[in-house]
Structure 1
Amino acid sequence: MHRRIVILTGAGISAESGLRTFRDQDGLWEEHHIEDVATPEGYERDPELVEHFYNGRWQQLHSGNIEPNAAHTALSRLEQEFEGELLIVTQNIDDLHERAGSRRLLHMHGELSKGRCPRSRQTFTLHDPFGPENTCTCCIPAQRLRPHVVWFGEMPLGMDRIHDALDHCDLFIAIGTSGTVYPAAGFVDSANHHGALTVEVNLMPADRHSQFQIHLQGKASEMVPPLVERILAGQSICNQTGHN
């Protein structure tokens, strides 16, 4: 029976809900240069372009057509029924985990539904898309809010808390993420080093250099619910979990 679990989720879990990903073949980067819309320098050069980019993502997320899928729901159930310690770390900037009911959650790359004061770093929930009218209430004069998103060249959020959880977990699961970009790429090594069982859930076959002990290939929406069932039942996890 596992007592301390860390779960990392990536773009693959949100893609099943209809959200376009940044790195897939039809991903958003094809429409914009990374340095123009996802760096502090790009924002300084042209804040309107960056706001337009993230407003498109914001509007899609709040269009009424995007909903949590079975993987999000299963993780919320795990949080509610698991009696040990649990931390969900997501690389995604959407709020689908929250909509499914997850609360023990850390957004390491920020949140699309929030803006941040560039001076105080205080965050504010966005009820409308970005624009000149979205300003902070913590400064005089009020500052124009920037997206609360971690851009290239910026440090991911909550790293101390994440590493502390990895140092003490006995089960680490990565869902829908390639796990090839640092610092997230180092999470499995840290968990392995501290004796945790490490499990990968991904559409792609296991990489021959993968450090994960168990690889479950398939859609997150199909693989995660039976995986959660096994965890809650105290059953062992093997490479065949969830396969037909």
Structure 2
Amino acid sequence: MKNIVVLTGAGISAESGLKTFRGSNGLWEGHDVMEVATPEGFKRNPELVLEFYNQRRRQLLTVEPNSAHIALADLESHFNVNIVTQNVDDLHERAGSSNVLHLHGELLKARSVNSENEILDCKNDILLGDTCVNGYQLRPHIVWFGEAVPLLDKAIEITKNADYLIIIGTSMQVYPAASLIDFVKPSTLIFFIDPKPALANKNNVTVIADTAVNGVPTLVASLIDK
């Protein structure tokens, strides 16, 4: 069975209605990204940061997977599929995908400020004073700017084994995630799906300049029919 690795970014989640970090002005929902997505910002104003992610979590629980998420889950009947996502939502899992690696953390989990390995499921708000069993404050299980990406090595190993690499809804400007394309085998076929693709057609790269909800089901159908 051939190996398909899928790299997804904010674009696929945006098509389910999730608000995403966009633009070059460094603002996220009116907040300076350095204030709500860095360890230093959390130290300065933990209540602001906790409420920012509480709002993101509440919104996530109001949206559903779209046809792109569902099509990727359908691939598992025909291929060995691994999804490496920059997204912190659970839409891939809710659509039925079983092998999902979250490079930047998960919004529906919390962790102790004392240990990145002390992780809890979390669907409710995290408040100042909410602690783990050892008495340390809980924080969102999110990889903030300036923090290490602990699952990067695992993502690289997965990508090295890809027969097909499908890239969906990402600008290919967020590192280290964007560097994963450099680890595929020379024979790997690459498909890039985005309305404004950052890659060009060349040798083993096929660009599909379309939205995820349109482009992914079409590509999946063609791969299954091969």
Normalised TM-score (structure 1): 0.85
Does the Cα contact within 8 Å between 1:114 and 1:124 map onto a contact in 2? yes
Between structures 1 and 2, the one with greater strand share: 2
Secondary structure, aligned partner of 1:76: helix
CA distance in 1, matches of 2:199, 2:70: 28
In the other structure, the counterpart of 2:159 is: 166
- Which of 132, 135, 150 aligns to 2:131? It is 135
- Which of 139, 144, 148 aligns to 1:151? It is 144
Corresponding position: 1:178 with 2:171? yes
- Which of 114, 118, 129 aligns to 1:119? It is 114
In the other structure, the counterpart of 2:64 is: 67
CA distance in 2, matches of 1:229, 1:161: 28
Secondary structure, aligned partner of 1:153: coil
Query: Partner letter of residue 219 of structure 2?
Result: L
User: Deviation of residue 134 (structure 1)?
Assistant: 3.1
Secondary structure, aligned partner of 1:143: coil
Q: How do residues 1-244 of structure 1 correspond to structure 2 at under 5 angstroms?
A: 3-24=2-23, 29=28, 31-62=30-61, 64=62, 66-79=63-76, 81-82=77-78, 84-121=79-116, 122-137=118-133, 139=134, 142-191=135-184, 193-207=185-199, 213-234=205-226
Query: Partner letter of residue 153 of structure 2?
Result: D
In the other structure, the counterpart of 1:241 is: none
Does the Cα contact within 8 Å between 1:9 and 1:177 map onto a contact in 2? yes
Q: What root-mean-square deviation, in Å, do the aligned CA atoms of Structure 1 and Structure 2 show?
A: 2.2
* 1:25–1:16 Cα change, 3 Å: farther
Percent of aligned positions with the same letter in both sequences? Answer: 46
Query: Partner letter of residue 75 of structure 2?
Result: L
User: Deviation of residue 226 (structure 1)?
Assistant: 1.5
Query: Partner letter of residue 128 of structure 1?
Result: N
Deviations 1:59-117, CA, capped at 9 Å, x for gaps? 1112x3x11100011011112x02x4221011111111111111210010001111011
CA distance in 2, matches of 1:212, 1:42: 42
After TM superposition, the structure 1 stretch with the greater mean CA deviation from structure 2, 127-136 or 92-101, is 127-136
Does the Cα contact within 8 Å between 1:107 and 1:157 map onto a contact in 2? no
Normalised TM-score (structure 2): 0.92
| Stretches of structure 2 lacking an aligned partner (at least 5 in a row) | none
| Stretches of structure 1 lacking an aligned partner (at least 5 in a row) | 235-244
User: Deviation of residue 52 (structure 1)?
Assistant: 1.2
